Structure 1
Amino acid sequence: MKSFVKIFLAFLAVATTLLGGCEDKLDEPQLNNNFAGGTDFSKTSDMQLSLVGAYEAFYSRGWEQPLLYSVRGDDVNAGGLGDQQDYAETDIFNYNKDYWMYNSLWENVYKDIITCHTAMEQIARYQELADDAGVQKGNSDIAEIKVLRSMMLFWVSETWGDVFIPTSSDTDLLRDTDTIPTKAEVMQHISNQMDEAIPLLQDLRPNERTDLPGGVTKYTALAIKAKANQELKNYQAVADATGAIINSGKFSLYPDFYELFKTPGKLSDESILDLQYSDYGQGEGDRFSHLYAPYGPQNWKPAVAGSSSGWGFFEPSMKFIKFMLDRGETVRLETSVLFTDRGISEIQTDPNYASLPGFVSNTTRDGDVINDYARALFASGKHYLPSNQLIPGRTAYGSNKNYNVIRYGEILLMYAEALAQGASGSGMTASQAVNLVRTRANMPPLASVTLDQIIDEKYAELSMEWGKRYFDMIRLERYGELSYDGRTFSADKDYLPYPQAQVDQFPVLQGQ
């Protein structure tokens, strides 16, 4: 991680300036390559500036974006928000096309996709003057950026279904389109892009990279190909891609599920794609960070005095908690949920849960006390960094914490599901894949597994991570699972409406 930070700091300031034209909004034409008029494209060593600029764009997710991906699932509730009522309404499937969060998600992810296209176009200009080694390096860098771009396009399509597929930095081309690619076309495009990228990427775990530790490798591309084909219900392609990751022998589950989501788990052998953030090992000054406050409790007594609390915008659901208690889950429940005394009392109002395991406490194993607060009964443990893991001098909630996007635990369960859906596997069986995940969670092994058991395992393992539970339920048409605690879900609620601000700019979205 240290070497990544040094590389990132060395290149980021220049790369951000170089790609500054990409900060325009999607509704404004890009400057294409004109912004680089003063660039010496014969200096091939500077090509990495464009690559690092693409990473900066990918990592710069707004706080509202992952919340919107997740909040409609039966694993997550919105906190009681007086100031973000439309976010709370989204949680119960009442959508407002004028809500700023919807437009922010669409606009900013597309802006970053366009930044990736600009970076690829700029690398191509370096390649025109490069030697064979420089051309090869440029091809690898472009492949890497394709992976980042495809992950963002995947997020947009999961959320809205039929969406634009940009092919260059020229956004005027989007204005000229008279049809919107379907979700199936988007996912197939992503799969095809990964096929192009995989042969050009490094055959390493992300944490084995020495040039950009934690950066994209062929296994990241294989994982995104698997995710796209899972949406297409092309389960043989899912089994093939996840099987290739498993059979590489390069990945393993981080042994401590609790610490996986904290500082010790940063860039572990389980990591396939993370958003990387850092305080640069110092207690003050520059930091590259994500705003984790929305996930945190509004009121706590941290073990390290002065550590900031959160906003209470993201609450594990009672349904999820009871599901985990019914299964006898221990470390996965403790890791996923921060309990308040009020929340514990609410669980115990159900006679079936009058007696709770000892780890169900308002005090975490790291000594942070989660006090009662008005907005929610619980907070997310997967987005929690113990106050004693903050770098001394830093007080922001979750400061220095990476954001897991794809990890090996998900790959094992995707592989198992693909086999249960009728695909043939290479290497381990579905039950072996599931049991690796269960063993890490201190759960007893299963002799065989059904599709329902695998989906339950995904619920236990992946909840509160990027809306994966919600999108599983949509793909599997298990709509009844989303109708809980007074909510009523129907198939016409699967995608968010296009933001009105985008419909006004792109009339082709009207009526879609």
Structure 2
Amino acid sequence: MILSLVGCTEKLDEPQLNNNFAGSTDFTKTENMKLSIIGAYEAFQSRGWEQPLLISVRGDDVNSGGLGDQQDFTETDLFNYNKDYWMYNSLWENIYVDVVSTHTAMDLIKKYQEFAGPTGVALGDQYIAEAKVLRAIMLFDISRVWGDVFLTKTSDTSELLNVTVVPTKAEVMQHLSDQMDEAIPMLPDMHPNQRQDLPGGVTKYTALAIKALANQELKNYQAVAEATGQIINSGKFALFSDFYELFKTPGKLANENILEIQYSDFNKGTGDREAHLYAPYGPQGWTPIIAGSESGWGFYEPSMKFIKFMLDRGETVRLETSVLFTNRGIAEIQKDAAYATLPSFVKNTTRDGDKINDYARAFFASGKHYLPSKQLITGRTSYGSNKNYTIIRYAEILLTYAEALKQGASQTAISADQAVNLVRQRAGLIPISGVTLDNILDEKFAELGMEWGKRYYDMIRLERYSELSYDGRTFTADKKYLPYPQGQVDQFPVLGK
């Protein structure tokens, strides 16, 4: 692990000077234009392990694993922020590196278009729209983490040195919504898994989802209802029937998934692989059914608050899927007399036969980031190897749509009751009628726990700060954003104003 990070401006130069789609390029070979968008996808999918963890750790659904070598990560979970912590700088810096890579891709595609016929120009417009969507989700993430952030408009990174006013979070979100309006007409009108050229790639509905989420942050709920309503009315998306398997190999490119980062071992036990480092999510100790499968680091733990919330609701498959239990953790739950008797699925062996042993850092591990050892490609031993990383699911769109209606938006598709009950039905819960905003937020808590900090950012958006003061934590409104990394403030003094 490299703790000494290079300067932002130096790092940001790299996409222009040394990337997979730059170099000596013959732009008259327009058939190679696809390589530029592939390069943008490659940049987007190169998530460091620390990025989703830092984005996610502050919600009341998840705790950092204690007793680790990343004390400032644990302190972040407790709302004690260190602007010098390497993770803060890494998230900021590397997101902007990848954002600039999408601008570089767009620049190169435009050069190909100069030599292309009408069909090639149209394809280039689609690729540029795809790059805008990839850029948008990255900027969306860091704006929710920091609030006011830079909006790069070109691949010329020197422009950042001339910024005198940092765009506000509201300006960022409006910009992203506008960008999606530009992109949507250029994108394929299909489910991402229907794309033959780039299976799982961006489509019109990915852009609509990001537009909806950006407008949700703006509390422009009619725009949210209109964007999510288009996704629902398209008929192209459906909830995956098996919630447990949705987060495992069978759920790859499922009809439920709107945006996911794709990884692969290419069905081979050795050689090249595209992978995310899932070890931080895994238990430190386990006895896998496939001997030799590696364990994790124990950095990411479902909270006791979340587990008791799920037990109180009578959750079955969603709780089993979301949490890996240790015997020590089960005993900790049962210290509360109200939970002395637990459902039979609450045990330290998963339905796939992997035994989760006790370990010091945490009582529980995240089941949504778990891949059963028997689903590993034979010969691969890394924790979670070959597992995709889902970012936006149709279940979230249904619940986001329902919330928009309860926040005053006009109905554009099904009713709020219908949207919520589709999600509840998959979870094995009885339908409800006359759903309230609280019902919807509880459903989002149950459905989306441990996923990309979605719970935390809902509580921030709705100013339900008391929910974040739990298990000894005290949250106040001034803690909703991380401080800018000191390394960035030193280079861009405007961040310190």
State whether structure 2 residue 290 is matched by structure 1 residue 304.
yes
Establish whether residue 295 from structure 1 lines up as the match of residue 278 from structure 2. Answer: no
- Whether 1:105 aligns to 2:88 is no
Q: Which residue is 1:476 aligned to? A: 462
Residue number in structure 2 paired with 1:234: 220
Partner of 2:259, secondary structure, is strand
Q: Distance in 2 between matches of 1:322 and 1:367?
A: 24
Which residue number corresponds to residue 243 of structure 1? 229
**Residue 397 of structure 1: aligned partner:** 383
CA distance in 1, matches of 2:7, 2:40: 16
2:249 equivalent to 1:267: no
Report the Cα offset of residue 470 of structure 1. 0.2
Q: Which residue of 2 aligns with 1:444?
A: 430
1:27 to 9, 18, 25: 9
The TM-score with structure 2 as length reference comes to 0.97
**Partner Cα distance (1:208, 1:291) in 2:** 28
Distance of 1:64 and 1:97 partners within structure 2: 16
What is the match of residue 49 of structure 1?
35
Distance 2:54 2:284 in 1: 20
Partner amino acid, structure 2, of 1:441? A
Residues 125-134 or 472-481, more deviating: 125-134
Residue number in structure 2 paired with 1:188: 174
Unaligned runs of 5+ in 1: 1-23
In the alignment, structure 1 residue 68 sits paired with structure 2 residue 54: yes
Q: Which residue of 1 aligns with 2:3?
A: none
Structure 2: gaps spanning 5 or more residues: 1-5
Distance in 2 (CA, whole Å) between partners of 1:246 and 1:441 is 19
Which residue of the partner structure matches residue 450 of structure 2?
A: 464
Aligned to 1:381: 367
Deviation at 1:427, TM superposition (A): 2.4
- 1:81 offset after TM fit, Å? 3.4
Structure 1 letter corresponding to 2:158: D
2:148 paired with 1:162: yes
Q: Secondary structure at the match of 1:272?
A: strand
Distance 1:278 1:31 in 2: 26
Query: What is the Cα deviation at residue 26 of structure 1?
Result: 3.6
Amino acid in structure 1 at the alignment position of 2:496: Q
The CA distance in 2 between the partners of 1:33 and 1:85, in whole Å, is 35
1:144 matched to 2:130? The reply is yes
Q: Is the 8 A contact 1:92 1:487 kept in 2?
A: yes
Q: 1:94 aligns with which of 73, 80, 92?
A: 80
Q: Distance in 2 between the 1:366 and 1:253 partners?
A: 22
1:371-422 superposed Cα distances (whole Å, 9 cap, x missing partner):
0000000000000000000000000000000001001000000000000100
Is contact 1:81-1:313 (8 Å) kept?
Answer: no
Residue by residue over 1:274-329, the C-alpha shift from the partner in whole angstroms, topping out at 9 and shown as x without a partner, is: 00000011001110000000000000000100000000000000000000000000
Which residue of the other structure, out of 154, 159, 170, is the alignment partner of 1:173?
A: 159
Provide the rounded CA distance (Å) in 1 between the counterparts of 2:291 and 2:279.
Answer: 17
Q: What is residue 411 of structure 1 aligned with on the other side?
A: 397
What's the CA shift string for 1:421-450, capped at 9, x where partnerless? 000112210010000000000011002200
Cα distance in 2 for partners of 1:271, 1:44 equals 31
Rounded to whole Å, the distance in 1 between the matches of 2:232 and 2:112 is 36
Q: CA RMSD in A?
A: 1.3
1:448 and 1:405 mapped to 2: Cα distance?
A: 29
**SS of the residue aligned with 2:9?**
coil
Please give the per-residue CA displacement for 1:309-362, whole angstroms capped at 9, x wherever unaligned: 000000000000000000000000000000000000000000000000000000
- DSSP 3-state at the match of 1:486: coil
- Counterpart residue number, 1:505: 491
Which is further off, 383-392 or 36-45? Answer: 36-45
Residue of structure 2 equivalent to 1:283: 269
State the distance in 2 between where 1:104 and 1:444 align.
Answer: 44
* Among candidates 433, 436, 441, match of residue 455 of structure 1: 441
The answer to whether structure 1 residue 337 and structure 2 residue 323 are counterparts is yes
Post-superposition offset of 1:37:
5.6
Superposition deviation, residue 25 in structure 1: 6.2
CA contact (8 A) 1:33 1:122 kept: no
Of 326, 332, 335 in structure 2, the residue corresponding to residue 349 of structure 1 is 335
Per-residue CA deviations over 1:186-215 (Å, capped at 9, x if unaligned) read: 000000000000000000000000000000
Q: 1:204 aligns with which of 175, 179, 190?
A: 190
d(CA) in 2 for partners of 1:285 and 1:25? Answer: 33
Q: Which amino acid aligns with 1:90?
A: T
Separation (CA, whole Å) in 2 of partners of 1:416 and 1:165: 31
d(CA) in 1 for partners of 2:435 and 2:16? Answer: 54
Distance 2:482 2:380 in 1: 37
How far off its partner does 1:33 sit? Answer: 6.4
Q: Sort the Cα spacing of 1:432 and 1:30 in 2 relative to 1 into closer, same or farther, 3 A.
A: same
Tell whether the 8 Å contact from 1:32 to 1:170 is kept in structure 2 after alignment.
no
Are the aligned partners of 2:174 and 2:214 in contact in 1 as well (CA < 8 Å)? yes
Query: What displacement does 1:129 show?
Result: 1.2
Secondary structure in structure 2 of the residue aligned to 1:215: coil
Aligned-residue offset at 1:30: 3.2
1:397 partner amino acid: Y
| Residue equivalent to 1:368 | 354
Structure 1 runs of 4+ with >3 Å offset: 29-37
Partner-residue secondary structure (3-state), 1:288 = coil
CA distance in 2, matches of 1:479, 1:447: 28
Q: For structure 1, which segment, 125-134 or 260-269, has the greater mean C-alpha deviation from structure 2 after superposition?
A: 125-134
SS in 1 for 2:90: helix
User: Alignment length, in residue pairs?
Assistant: 489
Q: Which residue of 2 aligns with 1:79?
A: 65
Structure 1 residues 257 and 34: alpha-carbon distance in aligned structure 2, compared to 1, 3 A threshold: closer
**Contact residue 15 and residue 100 of structure 2 kept, 8 A:** no
Query: How many Å apart are 1:128 and its aligned residue?
Result: 1.0
After superposition, give the CA deviation of every residue in 1:465-491 in whole Å (9 maximum; x if it has no partner). 000000000000000000000000000
How far is the alpha carbon of 1:32 from its aligned partner?
A: 8.2
Partner of 1:492: 478
For 1:78 and 1:33, the matched residues in 2 are separated by: 36
Amino acid at match of 2:75: E
> What do the CA deviations read for 1:128-154 (whole angstroms, capped 9, x no partner)?
111111111100000000000000000
Distance 1:177 1:499 in 2: 17
Task: Normalising by structure 1, report the TM-score.
Answer: 0.94
Helix, strand or coil: the match of 1:27?
helix
